[in-house]
Amino acid sequence: MSDWPLWEVFVRARRGVSHVHVGSLHAPDAEMALRNARDLYTRRQEGVSVWVVPASAISASSPDERDSFFDPAADKVYRHPTFYDVPEGVEHL
Partner 1 sequence: MYGNDFGTPSDDPGRGAATDAPEGFDELLATEGRVEPRDAMPEAYRKTLIRQIAQHAHSEIIGMQPEGNWISRAPSLRRKAILMAKVQDEAGHGLYLYAAAETLGVDRADLLDQLHDGRQKYSSIFNYPTLTWADMGAIGWLVDGAAIVNQVPLCRCSYGPYARAMVRVCKEESFHQRQGFEILHTLSNGTEAQKAMAQDAVDRYWLPSLMMFGPPDDDSPNSAQSMAWGIKRFSNDDLRQRFVDMTVPQAEVLGLSLPDDAIAWNDETGHYDFSPIDFTELFEVIKGNGPCNQQRMAHRTGAHNDGAWAREAASAYAAKQAARLVAVA
The residues of the shown chain that bind partner 1, judged by CB under 8 A, are 1-4, 6, 23-26, 28-29, 32, 39-40, 43-44, 60, 62-64
Which of 14, 74, 17 is closest to 45 using CA atoms?
14
The C-alpha atoms of residue 60 and residue 62 are separated, in whole angstroms, by 6
CB nearer to partner 1: pick between 3 and 85: 3
The C-alpha atoms of residue 88 and residue 11 are separated, in whole angstroms, by 46
CB of 77 to partner 1, least distance (A): 24
CB nearer to partner 1: pick between 4 and 70: 4
CB nearer to partner 1: pick between 17 and 58: 58
